[in-house]
Amino acid sequence: MRDEASKHPAQDSEDKKLPPSEKCIFCNKKISEVGGARIIAQKLRGIVLSVKYEGIVDKDYPHQSVKLDDKSDLYVVTWGEKEKWTKSTIEKARNEFLRGLRPWFCQVCGDRKCSKCGFPFKYPMGSDILYDNGCSSHVTIFPFDPGCSNPNCEKYKKRNENQQ
């Protein structure tokens, strides 16, 4: 099973340049509190604006769609664990989109964290990440240990001097 983020028709147009909302949609923490990167999509969980309504695809990680508003043909589409994507969380995400902000979730909530200490990986493989300017990119899966971001963890990897 591939562990890459799903692509949706509107992902490259409608929600491409929205700046990130202030806090993680699930744990309500700022990225500065958690560390790591903001995630918007993975194979098992995500949130996008779409012109296409999506119903349940996987019973364990269902897709849910709610109309953004009465004026557009856009849907807020979420997928992932039922206990994470509650009606109130989906409504919160819808409101963030209506405010012109891009909802996201942290690496801890997106399960891109160290198995030893729980801090975010240095490299959140298989995730579409959101930058401060509203742009996003996909972090490819490579066959290496992504390393922990916690300098006190045994899995911590010091950043190479040549990397930016």
User: Tens of pLDDT along 133-147?
Assistant: 999 999 999 898 899
The answer to whether position 157 is within a domain reads no
The answer to whether position 79 is within a domain reads yes
The answer to whether position 14 is within a domain reads yes
Residue 96 CA to residue 94 CA, distance in Å, equals 5
The answer to whether position 19 is within a domain reads yes
The answer to whether position 92 is within a domain reads yes
- Where does the pLDDT of residue 6 fall: very low under 50, low under 70, confident under 90, or very high at 90 and above? very low
The answer to whether position 156 is within a domain reads no
Structural domain harbouring 68: 9-139
The answer to whether position 33 is within a domain reads yes
CA atoms within 13 A on the CB side of 33: 10
Tell me what the mean pLDDT of segment 111-134 comes to: 95
- Where does the pLDDT of residue 60 fall: very low under 50, low under 70, confident under 90, or very high at 90 and above? confident
pLDDT of residue 160: 60
Q: What angle do CA 83, 84, 86 make, to 5 degrees?
A: 75
pLDDT surpasses 70 at 163: no
The answer to whether position 108 is within a domain reads yes
- Where does the pLDDT of residue 13 fall: very low under 50, low under 70, confident under 90, or very high at 90 and above? very low
pLDDT of residue 158: 74
For the chain, the domain total comes to 1
- Where does the pLDDT of residue 11 fall: very low under 50, low under 70, confident under 90, or very high at 90 and above? very low
Supply the pTM of this predicted model.
0.85
